[in-house]
Amino acid sequence: MTSPSPVHYLSTLSFPDRWLDRLRARHPRLVVTQLTAKTAADIPAQVWRRTQILHTSSVLPDSPAAAPGLSWIQLDTSGADHLKGTSVWDLPVPLTSIGGISPVPMAEYVMMMLLGLAHRLPRAIAVQQSGTWPSLGERWNTLMPRRLRGATVGVIGYGRIGHEVGRLAAQFGMTVLGLKRDRAPRGGAFFGAPAGESGEAELYTPDRLHAFLGRCDHLVVTCPLTDETRGMMDAAAFAALKDGAMVVNVSRGGIVDEAALRASLRSGRVAGAALDVFDEEPLPAGHPWWTEPNVVLTPHVAGFAPDYEEQTLELVGANVERFLAGRELINLVDRSRGY
């Protein structure tokens, strides 16, 4: 009896040996190679030629001819916007994401920031840094918290992350609005909201964006970057946003017009913001966001998952099983949608 042929898997990432050994043990047919790379040139040509499964963030073969056997690309990112226009975008090769690994820590990050902004965290940090105890009147006027219970939070992008944000926000007694492209759930997802625990949300579609924004005491942006979402939070959108709203952005740079957001912060229309993503990353020294009042800034860390390796092994392992069996993969990227 002929033994099954080997399948060549290439990681351009930096998983520890124990992770790679567990993947090998789970799938004996896999010939696992890991070459931590920043560009395609860091991978020898003979490795590209034999690669069938590519696990990467953004390192891709220079051309289809460089990797003729490539049959599946597993991304180490939740989004796929960075692949548009590359050598693989138009290939008939499935792309899968790691969407579903980060919804829980991202939703916790969002709630941390909603609480922090409501309780005037930027102002409290400024007081600490000043080294001066403010008067009772100053504390009353500048550190009085805003109520979350009974407030309305709107979530742009009511998918896996948005559902988890909604579930947690509902526990704080908040009214939850969700804005999403359509109401139909997408199949084949690695992570879905637990049954009965997704948090009820009143749903809006993008054509009603301004009506949606007019109801938001707090706005959370979690949607993917696509042609449709690029620049959607522009000056007109901020003008439609409820006066004095707080904004939390954990999506991608390019969705929120940063100049419009800064203008809204400085006019007081937006009372505070927590930002984890930016148009330019790394954010350069001297950039206005570093010192903007009433803003909490973090360096694109909201999606860090403490059990990332274990969940990634579970996802990749399940997808390898499906790939070897010729079944549909989990977390397939829909190129027509861009995510």
> Which residues belong to the active site?
252, 281, 300
How far apart CA 97 and CA 77 sit, in angstroms, is 6
How far apart CA 96 and CA 77 sit, in angstroms, is 9
What DSSP line would sit under 136-197, residue for residue? HHHHHHHSPPPP-TT-EEEEES-SHHHHHHHHHHHHTT-EEEEE-S-SSPPSS-S--PPTT-
How far apart CA 160 and CA 142 sit, in angstroms, is 35
What DSSP line would sit under 286-307, residue for residue? T-GGGG-TTEEE-SS-TT--TT
Give me the helix-helix angle, 103-118 and 121-130, nearest 10°.
60
- Report the SS3 class of residue 333: coil
Contact between 275 and 297 under an 8 Å Cβ cutoff? The reply is yes
CA dihedral 330, 331, 336, 339 (to 10 degrees): -170
Plot region of 8 (φ>0 → left; ψ -120 to 50 → alpha; else → beta): beta
Backbone phi and psi for residue 105, each to the nearest 5 degrees, phi listed first: -65, -30
Backbone phi and psi for residue 11, each to the nearest 5 degrees, phi listed first: -105, 130
